[in-house]
Amino acid sequence: MKAAFFDIDGTIYRNSLLTEHFKKLIKYELLDIREYELKVKDAFKKWDERVGDYDKYLEEITTTYVDAIKGLSLQYNDFISDQVLELKGNRVYKFTRDMIKWHKEQGHKVIFISGSPDFLVSRMAKKWGADDYCGSIYHFEDGKLSGDISPMWDSKNKMIAINNFCEKYDIDLSESYAYGDTNGDYSMLNLVGHPRAINPSRELLLKIKTEENLKNKTEIFVERKDVIYKVSADVEIL
């Protein structure tokens, strides 16, 4: 069995599902807006103005988000999660949307592996017809988010997830594909025979350029406006 493993945030989805969920919680006044303004606004401003680091921004907003949603009820969480997918679920890159369709036509298993909360990843997987998925598990206790999570945004846990899927579906990794955009997707890309970096972060691109095995087999795609570029790993970083 061949498979195609897709990260979601920045790879399929043209932003972060977690960020959209966070903003909706604030909009509906289910969270104190000061949590966002004091801890995250500056990091986002730096990234938005291209003077900050994208991976650092994601790390800061994730840490704040995990703390802020502790105690949120399952009922409210489901409502906001449905809102995110209804309003933002189509905000995806054309390239990866087309690749999902192509892999399904080839009979490949399409699997989403994302650091976003599992309650968002499950909805995204259903919307785009993925065969299976895993995300960061946000644990509930007495109908409320407990604040405990089992993360899926780092390279180590994504590697474990892929190995579990391989056992479940008898997947041949040498004939499989992986799509990712940040350093957390490194293990996914390195494990498969056909890695594809989508709008890669600087950190991931540097790793691809400096590791010979990854450099030789990774395809790099950049989507901007209505144009998709395929570039070499030897591309100059300015």
What are the 10-residue block averages of pLDDT along the chain, 238 residues in total?
96 92 88 68 67 71 83 94 95 97 98 95 97 94 89 84 95 97 91 96 91 92 94 84
Total domain count, the chain: 1
Specify if 126 maps to a domain: yes
Q: Beta-strand (E) ranges in the chain?
A: 3-6, 109-117, 132-141, 144-150, 177-180, 194-198, 219-224, 227-231
Q: Beta-strand (E) ranges in 151-203?
A: 177-180, 194-198
Which of 212, 175, 181, 213 minimizes the C-alpha distance to 196? 181
Specify if 10 maps to a domain: yes
159: containing domain: 3-231
Q: Tell me what pLDDT residue 10 has.
A: 92
Specify if 237 maps to a domain: no
Q: Is the dihedral of CA 200, 202, 208, 209 positive or negative?
A: positive
Which of 216, 8, 44, 222 minimizes the C-alpha distance to 119? 8
Specify if 100 maps to a domain: yes
Which of 20, 36, 26 minimizes the C-alpha distance to 83? 20
Instruction: Note the residue count of the chain.
Output: 238
Specify if 236 maps to a domain: no
Specify if 192 maps to a domain: yes
Specify if 238 maps to a domain: no
Specify if 98 maps to a domain: yes
3-state secondary structure of 5: strand
pTM given for the model: 0.91
Q: What is the CATH number of the domain that holds 28?
A: 3.40.50.1000
Quote the crossing angle between the two packed helices 17-27 and 54-68, to the nearest 10°.
50
Q: Tell me what pLDDT residue 120 has.
A: 97
Please check whether residue 47 is in contact with residue 54, taking contact to mean a CB–CB distance below 8 angstroms.
yes
Q: Which amino acid is at 37?
A: E
